[in-house]
Amino acid sequence: MSKNRLFKKLFISNIIIILVTLSILSGMFYLMFQNYYFADKEKIMLEEAQEINAILNEFAVGDINIDKWNQELNVVTRLINATVWIVDKEGLIYSQSQQPGKAWTGVSLNKEEIKSILDGQSVVKKGYFGGKFNQPVLTVGVPLVINGRIEGAIFMHAPLTEMNKTIINIFILMLLSGGVALIIGFVLISYTSSRISQPLKEMSLAVQQVAKGNFSARVQHKEDDEIGDLAKSFNIMAKELEQLEDMRKDFVANVSHELRSPLTSIQGYIDGILDGTIPKEKACDYLKIVQKETRRMSRLIDDFLEMTKLESGQFPLNKTEFDINELIRLTVIKFEKRIVEKDLTVKVDFEEDRRIVIADKDKIEQVLTNLIDNAIKFSKEKGIIHVFTEIKDDKAFITIKDNGIGISPEDQEHIWDRFYKADKSRGKDGAGLGLYIVKRIINAHNEEIWVESELGKGTAFTFTLPVKKF
């Protein structure tokens, strides 16, 4: 039951809104129609009363006879369903329309009931007309004018019961229409609520799957709306988490291998030295191997700690002014042994002999070390590495270029990610954190770094630094 909470909330809230809206509109429409209906009825009765007055004038001058008068009077009364009285100045009803019911001819009215009409005013009332009717009526009274003089009054009485029946019938029809609209609303709201709640329900299940470690979970929602955008964002997040998890697994596997292999070697060499398996004259050579393995482990741990600092925000920059060209020379010299071992040619070109930049010198040295190390690592025997700087618009552009194995377009999209290694076969040389750290260092300086590479032809990394203005 709880799994459909959102659907129920949406459905019930929308139904309540529709019911309240229909109720308010129905009430307003009923009152408006009632007022309009009575006002229109009053207008028609007043017009017909004037018409009767005109017929009486024709009768008075002899233009029509008594039969014609009665005929015209009955036509009018049937048309508006009303009883008509013709009253003289004394209040005596001397003529009435022919309708079933009580005969009013000869009955005298209270002079107060006709006083205002004899004064030239029209009267509209609702009620029992002084108790003369046993049901409420709408009464209209106008002066009876003959030859320009008020000679009495014309009263018209229409039963309110009949008018109320008409209004009620229309109201019932309106309620039926509202009921049909409500049923249609039920269907539409149910459909709309389901369309909103169902993808959210699927997303909730997908979130639970991701929380359990199933990063392959996806939400299938193709609509181009806010929920569709949310589903796309979730799928992007899940995909990135899946990629991150894959990289994490690779990292754990790599670190485990990186640590297990040298530790096993170190343990074997030390045990061999201690138990005499390794001759004393060769102990020094094996200790050098142990030293090399411990240094490699130290670099791996340093990279991991550096990544932790970067992600925790504990990464203050100590910006100073220094000669970037000199730093490049010193960094290249550090790799002299490896350069000679691979018989590489390293070209270093600067636009100027000295160029002062403003940055964290130690961090930039780390960037150069990583990029030159990669250039050496991925260069073929007798390859060429070109390091050069250019100055453009108060920026120093530092480029490390090689003619090595290159990077595929697919890998170029991920080389800045944590734990990512474009060349899996060289996993033993690191944990895939170098370029990630490089990118974070350059970004911390609010500068840019990018790669240009073609598979099989080589790679060029370029980053920028601000130069000192003189």
- Which residues in 391-414 are b (16+ Cβ under 10 Å) and which e? eeeeebbbbbbbbbbbbeeebbeb
**The pLDDT of residue 4:** 60
Query: Is 379 or 22 the better-scoring residue by pLDDT?
Result: 379
Residue 101: predicted pLDDT: 57
Burial 112-122 (b: 16+ CB within 10 A, else e): ebbeebbeeeb
In this predicted structure, the answer to whether residue 2 has a pLDDT above a threshold of 50 is no
Average pLDDT score over the chain: 82
HSE, CB side, 13 Å, CA atoms: give it for residue 235: 13
Rounded Cα distance between 143 and 141, Å, is 7
333, pLDDT greater than 90? yes
CATH value of 226-311 in 3.40.50.720, 2.40.50.140, 1.10.287.130, 1.10.1660.10? 1.10.287.130
| Assigned CATH class of 2-165 | alpha beta
Fold of 319-466: Heat Shock Protein 90 (3.30.565)
pLDDT of 426: 46
pLDDT(293) > 90: no
CA distance 314 to 311: 8
Q: What is d(CA 87, CA 129) in angstroms, rounded to the nearest whole number? A: 15
Return the percentage of the chain with pLDDT > 70, whole number: 89
- pLDDT classification of 238: cutoffs 50, 70, 90: confident
* Domain boundaries, given as residue ranges, for the chain: 2-165, 226-311, 319-466
The residue type of 306 is: E
> What is the distance of C-alpha 329 from the center of its chain?
54
CB of 253 closer than 8 Å to CB of 423: no
Q: What are 141-162's pLDDT values in tens digits?
A: 899 888 888 888 998 888 887 7
Say yes or no to pLDDT of 268 above 90: no
Q: List, for residues 417-464, the tens digit of each pLDDT value.
A: 876 666 554 444 555 678 988 999 999 899 999 999 998 899 999 999
pLDDT winner (highest mean) among 130-134, 168-172, 454-458:
454-458
pLDDT of residue 460: 95
Q: Rounded CA gap, 119 and 366, in Å? A: 111
Q: Which of 75-84, 223-232, 272-281, 325-334 has the highest mean pLDDT?
A: 325-334
The predicted structure's pLDDT at residue 431? 59
Residue 317 C-alpha from the chain's centroid: 39
List, for residues 80-91, the tens digit of each pLDDT value: 788 888 888 888
Q: Give how far Cα 450 sits from Cα of 4, 251, 421, 459, 463, Å.
A: 50, 24, 17, 11, 7
Task: Tell me how far apart the terminal alpha carbons of the chain are, to the nearest angstrom.
Answer: 74
d(CA 444, CA 437): 10
pLDDT tens column, 30-65 = 788 778 878 888 888 888 888 888 888 877 766 667
In Å, the largest CA–CA distance within the chain is 158
